[in-house]
Structure 1
Amino acid sequence: MNFARTTLAAFAALGMAFGAASLTGTSVSTPAAAQTAQTAPEPGQAPNVDEETLRSFAVATLEIQEISQTYQPQMEAAESQEQQQEIAQAANDEMVAAVEAVPGIDVDSYNAIAEAAQADPEMMQQINTFIAEASEQ
């Protein structure tokens, strides 16, 4: 599902409050992606997300941030657009795998929360608190 990875990459590009790098995405297809797409809230509506899921989001965000920091120097050192795209693809694949490896969250849920947090300062603050807690562990 191209949308899932593209949105993950868009979130990474935005950097939100987490400092992720600018990366591009390709397709991903998971059963959870199809299910989440059917139950996703209407655009502009915040999803109903419990604390445990937000904590999982925070852990995944830290993983994405680490991956981003690893690949950013490679992106900057790339000698061509093609090289940048290859590096970005590898980074994005690793980011998707990292999100999927965190219990309690999948790529589509991650993307929905990232989008909702951009429009919901309270949710963003809660996420930032959970990120701070997770980074201390």
Structure 2
Amino acid sequence: MPSRQQPKRIYNISEFPSHYRIKGGVDDSDRQLLGGIYSGVTSSFEYGLGESTYIAAWTRMPRWSGVDSDPDWIVGLRNKRLIPSHFQFHFGHVGMTGVWGYPRNRLDKSLFRYVVAPLALEREPFDVCLVDDGG
């Protein structure tokens, strides 16, 4: 754990900045549920990055890693002020994508690399693994 990291913060939806709320299907009950989970764990891995990543950062997750299929989206998230430097971002190339980075060719072998490759780099298991189904 990085030495300059601040202690965990309990997620409170009323304190979570509204500009980190993404219009992608997450409602306040989802935010509260995930915020509660993330407040109580010390590590998380995410397939698909977005508001959940912001919630992890807001709770000051000590160990976080995630993968997404859109490199521009990854760069945009990684460069937000809220995101700590110890968060690990991975690009999962899945070929041509459509809306929300969803692969157009769902039979492409690269989908397996998206799932397996980022975790192959990890030495320890995660407390939570979040899978964004794109819906």
* TM-score, structure 1 as length reference: 0.29
Higher strand share: 2
Pick 1 or 2: higher relative contact order, CA cutoff 8 A, min separation 6: 1
Higher helix share: 1
* TM-score, structure 2 as length reference: 0.29
